[in-house]
Amino acid sequence: MPQLRWYDGGSLVVSDWHCPGQSLGTGPEESAPAFEVSIGRVGSHTIRAVDGETVVEGTRLLCINAGEVFRPVRRTLGLDRRTRITLSADAMRELVGAAGHNPRRFPTRTVALTARAALAHHELLRAVQAASRDELAIHSLALELVAHAGHGQPLRHAVRPTVAVGAAIRAIQELLARRFAEPLTLAVLAAHVDLSPWHLSRRFHSEVGLGLHQYRTRLRLLSALHRIRDSRRPDLARVAFEVGFSSHSHLSREFRAFFGVPPSHVYWRRVGAENAVRRLDLAAR
């Protein structure tokens, strides 16, 4: 798939991976040459490995171990875009093995993207796309995300899902990754995968670690974060409408509850960094 290499530090590489969504079905088998952490930014992508299928979207980090064999799976049309961080085996050993974990593999396939990790991802995107590059910041932020993935714990399942239920949960993740801004009801989601609303709600929470409403809210907040970052001067009322919140105040309330700061903090932090770079450029002339 098309990939833009943003940063190459030898043992650590940060890339923008994207799929234009022009094909359906299962892709060719691939073998990971290095340890990889992926964070979805737009849409979703599914991979198939020895432990089953996993959906790559914005609420969790996907972890792939060096040498692992997998296949990309495409079920729906539409753009997929994610941040991809690859790390050499030696760097992985130093970063994760030092903390007493197995340096030869990630402990779990996916790890929840916490508020701190989401903001670190936001800062990483800002750093790699800045006109004046701070390579120390890029390297440190990327390592923070890999370390977060390396210290993840697998979800505890009271009952393992059947093949059909597992497929239904992934189908709901893929649907919400693309249509999180829409007012989809529990009845509509349940009908989409032919499960009862109660059964879908209970099993989704058990498998994903978030309830359906909380999961959709998380997708909306992460999309809002990226829109605010990418806008020259964001209209928060418009951002709220685009991602599915009822109002500017609704977005601000949910944003502060999860990230611990208001949406304006993200914008003004970026503006302050850009102004600092301009002042340095002027002083150097």
Helices assigned H by DSSP within the chain: 89-95, 115-129, 135-150, 163-179, 186-193, 197-208, 212-230, 236-243, 248-259, 263-284
Q: What is the mean predicted confidence (pLDDT) over 202-226?
A: 93
Say yes or no: 7 and 114 in one domain: yes
Kindly report the CATH number assigned to the domain that includes residue 120: 2.60.120.280
81 domain residue, yes or no: yes
Q: Render pLDDT for 82-140 as a digit per residue (tens, 0 to 9).
A: 999 999 888 887 776 555 555 578 888 999 999 999 999 998 998 888 877 788 899 99
Say yes or no: 8 and 140 in one domain: yes
Q: Render pLDDT for 129-169 as a digit per residue (tens, 0 to 9).
A: 887 778 889 999 998 999 888 877 766 655 677 888 999 99
87 domain residue, yes or no: yes
CA distance 180 to 184: 8
Q: Are 35 and 165 in contact (CB under 8 A)?
A: no
158 domain residue, yes or no: no
Last residue of a domain, one of 150, 178, 213: 150
Per-residue burial over 256-270, b = 16 or more CB atoms within 10 Å of its CB, e = otherwise: eebbeeebeebbebb
Say yes or no: 143 and 171 in one domain: no
284 domain residue, yes or no: no
Which two structure tokens, joined as six digits, stand for 73? 């799976």
CA distance 247 to 227: 16
Among 104, 124, 4, 110, which residue's Cα sits nearest to residue 58? 110
Last residue of a domain, one of 102, 125, 150: 150
Q: Cα torsion at 83, 6, 144, 177 (round to 10°)?
A: -10
Last residue of a domain, one of 123, 150, 177: 150
Q: How many domains does the chain have?
A: 2
53 domain residue, yes or no: yes
Domain that holds residue 71: 3-150
- Residue 280 CA to chain centroid, in angstroms? 33
Q: Render pLDDT for 204-215 as a digit per residue (tens, 0 to 9).
A: 998 898 999 999
